[in-house]
Amino acid sequence: MHPASSIIVFTTLSSAGFGLMAWLGLGIGPAAPVFGLVGCGLALILASIGLLASLWHLGNPQRAWRALSQWRSSWLSREGVLAVATLGVFGLYALLWVAGAGRHLPLGILAALLALATVYATSMIYASIKAVPRWSKSPTPVLFLSYSIASGALGFMAVALGFGTVSNAMMAASVVLVLAAGIVAFWWRTRVGQIGLDADGSTPETAIGLPLLGRARLFEAPHTSPNYLMKEMVFRIGRKHAKKLHRLAFAAAFVLPTVLILAALAIPLLSAILWLAFPVHLAGVATSRWLFFAEAENVVSLYYGHC
């Protein structure tokens, strides 16, 4: 599937923003209003940039508000509704905190649950597309949620770093969460490696409705030039570097942040390197999101000589 840059920015940054909201909503960390201002501000900025980016690729973004209407059937619509609700509830929680009225834990927990529900809805947009077996036949929601929780934890640590309140416990917890997300990412990758276009039994033969006649091979494509379907659904650019990119993404998203935190834990003098953990992690997540889309193929490919 075509890895539109807007969708990569969206899924990377909003996932980190909502993850950070989940951690801030739980009421951990300093209660000072200025901590709330920076932390909640960062979370809201990340989520908002992500959501705005998702509008870039629309053909008619001026009608985007309509996307809030079909929550009964559409995961994309549900995601929109949940995102707006999360921004509203978390915004109120942040406002009260920054205004000096303290942290309202019930409100914070509600915001945290809504934030994770939004990330779940994002993952279901892809997981509900049966025509893309890699997404629908694998535990895609687990992947998205674990990325979000890990990104949020590293974002939280970055904010705490600014206030000089990073504790050893926080660093240890971040290492555990980042490693857990890494294990989930590795597990998901091994799972999807075995999911081909034929996961539901679809082949070039069933695609043309003639499974009993013999082997079907595309003899002549409908047009001499690539079309919208081929650009969107039969995306194949960059596959030859997929393995290298996977290693780079894995190293940046999980291994490097872990090494940085462990080094800072071991040698307190090196604690400045902790600043690198969050941006390096985000770069890794963005790369793995690119692969998430670029490597997935739609069964439409069967009409274009792929199987």
Partner 1 sequence: MTSLPQSTAKKLGLVIDLDTCVGCHACVVSCKEWNTSGYGAPLSDQDAYGASPSGTWLNRVHSFEITPSPKHQKGSACGSAQPKTQLVHFPKSCLHCDDAPCVTVCPTGASYKRRQDGIVLVDESMCIGCGLCAWACPYGAREMDKAAGVMKKCTLCVDRIYNDNIPEVDRVPACVRACPANARHYGDLADPTSAVSQLVAERGGVDLMPEQGTKPVNKYLPPRPKADMDLPDDFRLAELVAPDATGFLGWLDRTLEKLG
Q: Is 208 or 242 the residue whose CB approaches partner 1 more closely?
A: 208
User: Can you tell me the distance from the alpha carbon of 130 to that of 199, in angstroms, rounded to the nearest whole number?
Assistant: 10
Phi, psi of 85 (to 5 degrees): -65, -40
Q: At what angle do helices 168-193 and 256-266 cross, to 10 degrees?
A: 160
Binding partner 1 (rule: CB under 8 A), the pick from 19, 50, 152, 204 is 204
CA–CA separation, 125 and 79 (whole Å):
8
Task: Determine the Cα–Cα distance for residues 191 and 136; give it in Å rounded to an integer.
Answer: 12
Amino acid of residue 281: H
Q: How far is the CB of 147 from partner 1 (least distance, A)?
A: 21
**Binding map of partner 1 across residues 25-64, x = CB under 8 A, - = no contact:** --------------------------------xxxxx-xx
Per CB under 8 A, the list member of 26, 107, 131, 142 interacting with partner 1 is: 131
| Burial of 115 from C-beta contacts in 10 A (0-12 / 13-18 / 19+) | buried
Binding-site member from 12, 123, 138, 202 for partner 1 (CB under 8 A): 202
Is residue 157 within 8 Å of residue 273, measured between CB atoms?
Answer: no
Within residues 70-89, the interface with partner 1 by CB under 8 A covers 70, 72-77, 80
Of 158, 144, 153, 146, the closest CA to residue 26 belongs to 153
* Residues 240-269, interacting with partner 1 (CB under 8 A): none
Contact between 67 and partner 1 per CB under 8 A: yes
Of 187, 206, 248, 306, the one binding partner 1 (CB under 8 A) is 206
For residue 236, state whether it binds partner 1 (rule: CB under 8 A).
no
Cα–Cα distance measured from residue 55 to residue 64, given in angstroms and rounded to the nearest whole number? 7
Yes or no: say if 159 and 17 are a contact pair by the CB < 8 Å rule. Answer: no
Q: Binding to partner 1 by residue 130, rule CB under 8 A? A: yes
Residue from 194, 214, 243, 266 binding partner 1 (CB under 8 A): 214
User: Where along the sequence are the contacts to partner 1 (CB under 8 A)?
Assistant: 1, 57-61, 63-64, 66-70, 72-77, 80, 125, 128-132, 200-202, 204, 206-210, 212-223, 225-229, 232-233, 298-300, 303
